[in-house]
Structure 1
Amino acid sequence: MNLKGFILMFIISCSLFAQQEEDDTEVYVDDHYLEDQFYLGVQYNFLTGTKNGIKNTGVPFSIEAGFIKDIPLNKQRNKAIGVGAGYNFDVLRPNIAITKNGNDLIFNIDDNYNRYDYTSHNLEFPLEYRWRTSTATNNSFWRIYSGVSFIYNIQNSASFDDNNGNTTSFNNLTQLNKTNFTLYTSIGFGTWNFHVKYYLNSPFKDSLRTGNGEKLYFNQLKIGVMFYIL
C-alpha cells in the first residue's frame, strides 16, 4: 500500500470511530424535571360592580413579582400544582376623596380633584393548577395556569391633588381591607402570557360609608401580561 492509500484509510477509520463514539454517547434526559419559576406581571386595574358614581381616573396599574414552586401530579409532568409567594404593588385611582374632620376621616365621591392615588404594598401567596405542553427538553410551551391567591396588605397610602396644586396625603388607612382573595388565570406560550385576575372583595371595608351614607364598594379586575422565567 502506498502512502496516499495509507493516509486515506487512516482518515476513514478515524471518522468511523468518531461516529461510533457519538452514537454510543447517551444523552441524559431529566424525567423528573420541575417548572419552578420566577414570575413578573404588569396589569391595568379596572373597577367592576361600581355604584353611586364611582369611576376610574388616570391610569391605575399593578406590578407583581415572585416565585412559584412546581409540584407535578403525573408521570408526564404536564399537570401540576403551583405554590408560591410574591410581592404586589397596586395603584388605584377611583374618584373617592378623603377629608379630615377633627380626628375623623370623611370619604366622599368627589370629581373636583385633579389626581387620586390609592397605593398599596402587599404580600401575595398564589395556589394554582397548572397544565402545560412542556417536556424535559422543551422550555417553550403552551400553558394554562389557574388558581387563587391570598393578599395581605403591609402598607397603604392615599393622596389627592386639588385644582390649586395642593396635595393631601394619608398613610396606613384602617378603612381599607387588610386581606383579600383573588381568582386568576394565565394563558400563553413561552415567556409571554395573558393574565387576568379578579378580586373577590372590595378594597374598602364593608362598613365604610360616605358623608352622605353611601356605601363605597367595587371590585378590582386586573388585565395584563405575565412573564414566567425558568
Structure 2
Amino acid sequence: MALPVFSQEKISSDNAPKIKIDSLYREDQFYFSFTFTTLQNKPSGLTQDKFSSGFSLGFLRDFPINKTRTIAIAPGIGLAYNNYNQNLKISEQNNVLEYSILDSN
C-alpha cells in the first residue's frame, strides 16, 4: 500500500527572482477549426444525408489594458462556413420562422 505525500516550502519574497515585464509582449492568435454537425432527438421523417460539415478561421489582435499586461481585449476578424445536409426546410413568413420536413422524393 502506498500513501501519496506532498510537501511544499515557502520561499521568501526577498529571494524570489524579479520579473521584468516585456512591454512589447502580445498574444495575437490565428485560429482554424473544422466542425461536423449531427442531429440528435430527431422527429420522425427528418434525415441527415452525407456530412454536415463546416470550418472557421480568423485572427485575433491582443491589446493589453493594464501595465502588467495580464488583462487584455482581443478584437479580430474571422470567417465561418457551415453546410447542412438534411431534409428540414426553414423559411420565414411575416417575421416568423417556420420549420417543415421535405418529402424524400
TM-score by length of 2: 0.52
Q: 1:68 aligns with which of 35, 38, 60?
A: 60
User: In 1, are the aligned partners of 2:66 and 2:72 still within 8 Å (CA)?
Assistant: yes
The structural deviation recorded for 1:48 is 6.8
Q: What amino acid does structure 1 have at the position aligned with 2:77?
A: A
Specify which structure has the higher proportion of strand: 1
**Structure 1 runs not aligned, ≥5 long:** 1-27, 97-106, 108-203, 209-214, 218-230
1:74-89 alignment runs, 5 A limit: 74-89=66-81
Q: 2:99 aligns with which of 216, 222, 227?
A: 216
The structural deviation recorded for 1:74 is 3.1
1:39 aligns with 2:31: yes
1:92 & 1:62 partners in 2: Cα distance? Answer: 9
> Counterpart of 1:92 in 2: which secondary structure?
coil
RMSD of Structure 2 on Structure 1 (CA): 3.4
Q: 1:207 to 1:46 in 2, by over 3 A?
A: farther
> Counterpart of 2:75 in 1: which secondary structure?
strand
Q: 1:49 to 1:76 in 2, by over 3 A?
A: farther
Specify which structure has the higher proportion of helix: 1
User: In 2, are the aligned partners of 1:51 and 1:216 still within 8 Å (CA)?
Assistant: no
Per-residue CA deviation, residues 32-89 of structure 1 (Å, 9 max, x unaligned), is: 4111221111111244786564343322111111111212233333332221112222
User: In 2, are the aligned partners of 1:54 and 1:94 still within 8 Å (CA)?
Assistant: yes
Q: What amino acid does structure 1 have at the position aligned with 2:56?
A: E
2:26 & 2:66 partners in 1: Cα distance? Answer: 12
Q: What amino acid does structure 1 have at the position aligned with 2:81?
A: F
1:76 & 1:94 partners in 2: Cα distance? Answer: 50
> Counterpart of 2:27 in 1: which secondary structure?
coil
1:59 & 1:49 partners in 2: Cα distance? Answer: 18
Q: 1:49 to 1:33 in 2, by over 3 A?
A: farther
Q: Matched residue pairs, number?
A: 79
Q: What amino acid does structure 2 have at the position aligned with 1:59?
A: F
Q: 1:77 to 1:45 in 2, by over 3 A?
A: farther
Q: What amino acid does structure 2 have at the position aligned with 1:207?
A: Q
2:49 & 2:41 partners in 1: Cα distance? Answer: 16
Identity %: 27
Which is higher, the Rg of structure 1 or of structure 2?
1
TM-score by length of 1: 0.28
User: In 1, are the aligned partners of 2:28 and 2:60 still within 8 Å (CA)?
Assistant: yes
User: In 1, are the aligned partners of 2:21 and 2:68 still within 8 Å (CA)?
Assistant: no
The aligned counterpart of 1:30 is: 22
1:39 & 1:69 partners in 2: Cα distance? Answer: 12
Q: What amino acid does structure 2 have at the position aligned with 1:78?
A: T
1:58 & 1:206 partners in 2: Cα distance? Answer: 26
